[in-house]
Amino acid sequence: MFRPGPQHSMHIRRESLKPMSQRFAEAIEDLAKGIGAGSFRSEAEISQGVIKRILHELGWPVFNVQVVAPEFKIGTRKVDYALCHPAGKPSVLVEVKDLGKADNRGQKQLFEYCFHQGVPIAVLTDGREWSFFLPSGQGSYEERRFARLDFIEDDARHAAETCEKYLNFDRVKSGEARRQAERDYEAFRRQKEAASNYASVWRRLLAGPDPLLLDLFSEEVGNETGVRPEPESAARFIRRQAGAAVASPGKSKRKRTTRRKVAPVPAPGGSDDPPSLTFRGEIETFKTGAEVLVAVFEKLASLDPDFCKRYSERHRGKVRLYVAKSRGHLYPGRHRPTSSSHRLPGGWWLATHYSNPGKVQRVREACEVAGLKFGRDVIVHIPVGSRKGRTP
């Protein structure tokens, strides 16, 4: 008979004292190492070694085949797992594939199951990559995907939070997982709709150029060189970047196809929508763009005590700092009202006086420092068609 020794018992107590989210993130890190090392070589090994462990961590009774139903029969076919509530009634379908095989063919097969069963959430995974779908959504399979994870590439905490949102046993039972999936799908759909207008908006901004874009460009040149360019000189340069097709719309289509490519300015949401922040699926609205900028930096500084230090070392102007230990280093030689800066956790200061595109750029940089994906983990909407949200 096994009797746990003192060290074994102490280890169990230490593990039980860890918050569930931390334990789950550590489990995902452990699985990611195993996947990277080739420990799961077949669909069956992925199903038993990865999927069941994830479901167990999320509170599912994996040995109750009426709740976690393996090889669930739908018509003449079988789906790998049906997560049921009440027992025998699927709330989530999970289709498992070999590594690298969770592709379009797998999506088609999964959606055929869903159409027969009317399931709120569908998951396609090869153990490493996880795709979450809302079968009742509109459009193609890809357009109904509202979340995606990669256990190896993504931060384990983010992966744990995402799985918790959509697959936690209690959240599925209460219906909150389905409601969250519907909200996130709708947010994703709106972001994609906005993205379809990026190119035309960007061309219009360059052709003007838009006053905010001109202001941002001039401010950044001033930050780097200490000399703010003359407005007309800066405007001529910006117009040249649009290429001949934008500067001279009457020229041939052939020349339009050879214009220089430029990076699009993020413009999620409609111009009439209030400034907003979507942080890992949770949406908040604000009165000004500066409040969005502050909210992003406050969240990241609270999550990571070293974030501000790393950001300050990587991103700064030539004659000023964007994040500094001293407020005076944010606007050296300039008088700015106290509303142009904000105190962050850890005694750091954040400069908030930027044009709206400038605020978006600071958020991009913050995501890069924090290891988050801008446009997915962090989505900001700061209207660029007006001066709404700009600090004095």
Tell me what pLDDT residue 219 has: 82
- CATH number, residue 347: 1.20.1380.10
Q: In terms of domains, do 48 and 174 share one? A: yes
Q: In terms of domains, do 234 and 324 share one? A: no
pTM of the model: 0.54
pLDDT digits (tens, 9 = 90+) for 186-198: 988 888 888 888 8
Binning pLDDT at 50, 70 and 90, where does residue 366 land?
A: very high
Binning pLDDT at 50, 70 and 90, where does residue 252 land?
A: very low
In the β-sheet with 121-125, what is the strand arrangement from edge to edge?
A: 68-74, 77-84, 90-96, 121-125, 129-133, 145-150
- CATH number, residue 44: 3.90.1570.30
In the chain, % of residues over pLDDT 90:
42
pLDDT digits (tens, 9 = 90+) for 274-295: 889 998 778 888 989 999 999 9
Q: In terms of domains, do 225 and 337 share one? A: no
Tell me what pLDDT residue 3 has: 54
45/246: higher pLDDT: 45
Of 153, 172, 194, the one marking the end of a domain is: 194
Residue at 9 is within a domain? no
Cα 338 to Cα 295, 322, 389: the distances in Å are 17, 15, 16
- Rounded Cα distance between 255 and 257, Å, is 5
267/88: higher pLDDT: 88
Of 194, 218, 245, the one marking the end of a domain is: 194
Q: In terms of domains, do 79 and 154 share one? A: yes
Tell me what pLDDT residue 267 has: 40
Binning pLDDT at 50, 70 and 90, where does residue 262 land?
A: very low
- Rounded Cα distance between 316 and 341, Å, is 15
Residue at 75 is within a domain? yes
Q: Mean pLDDT, to the nearest integer, of 322-334? A: 83
Q: In terms of domains, do 234 and 97 share one? A: no
> What amino acid is encoded at 256 in this protein?
R
Tell me what pLDDT residue 330 has: 87
377/5: higher pLDDT: 377
pLDDT digits (tens, 9 = 90+) for 285-324: 898 999 999 999 999 999 999 999 999 999 988 778 899 9
Distance of CA 208 to the CA centre of its chain: 32
pLDDT digits (tens, 9 = 90+) for 114-152: 665 678 899 999 999 999 999 888 877 778 888 999 999
204/267: higher pLDDT: 204
State the sign of the Cα–Cα–Cα–Cα dihedral 83, 86, 90, 92: negative
Tell me what pLDDT residue 244 has: 38
Tell me what pLDDT residue 277 has: 92
pLDDT digits (tens, 9 = 90+) for 172-224: 999 999 999 999 999 888 888 888 888 888 788 888 787 878 888 888 888 77
Q: In terms of domains, do 127 and 182 share one? A: yes
Of 175, 194, 213, the one marking the end of a domain is: 194
Tell me what pLDDT residue 115 has: 63
Tell me what pLDDT residue 233 has: 86
Tell me what pLDDT residue 382 has: 85
Residue at 264 is within a domain? no
Q: Mean pLDDT, to the nearest integer, of 92-96? A: 92
The tokens for 8 are 């074994």
pLDDT digits (tens, 9 = 90+) for 60-77: 999 999 999 999 988 778
Tell me what pLDDT residue 6 has: 52
Tell me what pLDDT residue 217 has: 85
Q: In terms of domains, do 293 and 367 share one? A: yes
Residue at 246 is within a domain? yes
Q: In terms of domains, do 188 and 221 share one? A: no
- Rounded Cα distance between 255 and 352, Å, is 40
Q: In terms of domains, do 38 and 78 share one? A: yes
- Dump the DSSP string for 78-146: EEEEEEESSTTSEEEEEEE--TT--SHHHHHHHHHHHHHHT-SEEEEE-SSEEEEE-TTSSSSTGGGEE
Q: In terms of domains, do 183 and 67 share one? A: yes
- Among 184, 237, 178, residue whose Cα is nearest residue 209: 237
Q: In terms of domains, do 207 and 186 share one? A: no
Residue at 118 is within a domain? yes
Residue at 1 is within a domain? no
User: Mean pLDDT over all residues of the chain?
Assistant: 81
Residue at 389 is within a domain? no
> What amino acid is encoded at 306 in this protein?
D
Q: Is the pLDDT of residue 247 over 80?
A: no
- Rounded Cα distance between 231 and 258, Å, is 27
Q: Is the pLDDT of residue 249 over 60?
A: no
Give the total number of structural domains in the chain: 3
Query: Domain range holding 366?
Result: 276-381
Secondary structure letter of residue 378 according to DSSP: E
Residue at 5 is within a domain? no
Q: In degrees rounded to 5, what are phi and psi of residue 264?
A: -70, 145
Q: In terms of domains, do 172 and 204 share one? A: no
